[in-house]
Structure 1
């Protein structure tokens, strides 16, 4: 009788404990559900300028108190949107990384408002050995001759000067995706510039040869250089230019001629009390 009562109490305790576990689990799940929200994340890597399809997106739970700004919770709102930046797998798809609705795919969707895309021809040296990748910043260096010095032999007119700074690379060749695993040597690089910079770049490549100078992405400071010439390269002082002779005919100089002086001799003659002077 006593054993039966003990078994009943033990069974009742087990049932109550199980019920408490179930209730606690439901309460924890309810609390967790109230602190999370659905966020659209990339199900696979999305390249720059790619059109987003439903297969590229999935919804996942995200802490409500750590929701990234511009996060999208409705997967249908991403239909036919175009990415303006590379999105890796598992990364939240933010509004700042998407082109405006209705934008067509391609590189034109990546160009910001007020900017232009211009392509320059490069080689394995000019293109920084293939290390100038989409998303990097470069400076544009031009090697040309100073205006007004080409016909003078006293000084070498060659000069190398940085004409544009902190220009972002949009694409290399026909690829706008960024692969940081290895460099890629191409024959053309597309740059993001303003209309004023596009005019300068077009003039620079017509008057000389261009080179790309890779720079640190977090370095916004401009460089103030006067350009490198042959004299500054070799550490020589610039010699003054020789004066060219005047080709105009000069009037003959007038020579003043003075008349010769005649020596005059004077003799004093005395006759008695009279005195006179005669000149010869």
Structure 2
């Protein structure tokens, strides 16, 4: 091989080697992670309930990127020792100073009341608190039942939902749900609600006026329903029903139209009966006329059926037709012996209704 060719070959190999080394260094530099400044903070190793004392087994000191460290994160054990959570702390969550009570403090539920709101506590039992199913954080409607009290101007008992979508702050002295859901279900004696000052006044008035009940609702349901007070007339004059679709889809579309009242139905029935009786009375024969109006009189030992046409009593004939019963006026008072004291005046023999007790 010529010396010139050898020189060119060596030069090419040298250039290729230099290029490969440079490329390797560039690739190695891109794979190396950039140096990030970190800071140590305490992180929860398990769920910690409100008020539970924090021990070293519940937390761990971990290195977090300094730009990711939340404000108020606990960085030393001295800041964490002898402190309890003010709210629930979840596994993997940084321990923040704002979520802890002061050193030696056991609980501070009042600090959790939102600004501008008030805490109103009411007495309840199993019937008024959904049989012990209520927990802190649930949503309820507040219902009042008022008994009849003529002295206070309440002439008829009624019920009404006067507050809706109210948050339960505490059940007895429990102000937060357990993270693992292992809390026991007990029938509460008191329930504390988060309300405005005006709502607190309404609850106090309702407590002194009648009985208060709490009706649980879906926490995601923000619907406010126009609720008119329900009294005995409204209860007996209408009937509503749910179906599976409504219960599953929580449909809030229109309500059923109210049925006619019982008094209106009875009035319409009586008017129709009188019209039929008048038609039969005008005809005289009764042929082809509507059936007479019937009335049942219930005695202690038997039931008697009376028939009326045009408001006058009738008696059935042997062939099944009916005939008007003539009414015989009673004899003048001077022609009959007066009734003895304490005895009822005698009735005509053919009086259509036997008023004697049987």
Q: TM-score, normalised by structure 2?
A: 0.47
Paired residues in the alignment total 208
Partners of 2:66 and 2:43 lie apart in 1 by 15
Within a 5 Å distance, the mapping from 1:236-275 to structure 2 comes to 237=261
Residues 40 and 75 in structure 2, CA contact (< 8 A), matched pair in contact too:
no
Instruction: Work out whether 1:98 is the aligned partner of 2:117.
Output: no
Residues 83 and 194 from structure 1, CA distance in 2 versus in 1: closer, same or farther, beyond 3 angstroms? Answer: farther
The structural deviation recorded for 1:45 is 3.2
- Unaligned 5+ residue runs, structure 2? 1-23, 239-260, 265-358
1:158 corresponds to: 157
Ranked by relative contact order (alpha carbons within 8 Å, sequence separation 6 or more), the top structure is 1
Residues 39 and 72 in structure 1, CA contact (< 8 A), matched pair in contact too:
no
Instruction: Work out whether 1:75 is the aligned partner of 2:75.
Output: yes
1:210 corresponds to: 212
Residues 150 and 157 in structure 1, CA contact (< 8 A), matched pair in contact too:
no
* RMSD (CA atoms): 4.1
Q: TM-score, normalised by structure 1?
A: 0.58
1:176 corresponds to: 175
Instruction: Work out whether 1:114 is the aligned partner of 2:116.
Output: yes
1:200 corresponds to: 202
1:140 corresponds to: 142
1:229 corresponds to: 231
Residues 57 and 71 from structure 1, CA distance in 2 versus in 1: closer, same or farther, beyond 3 angstroms? Answer: farther
The structural deviation recorded for 1:186 is 1.5
- Unaligned 5+ residue runs, structure 1? 1-19, 241-280
Secondary structure at the aligned position of 2:119 is classed as strand
Residues 238 and 39 from structure 1, CA distance in 2 versus in 1: closer, same or farther, beyond 3 angstroms? Answer: farther
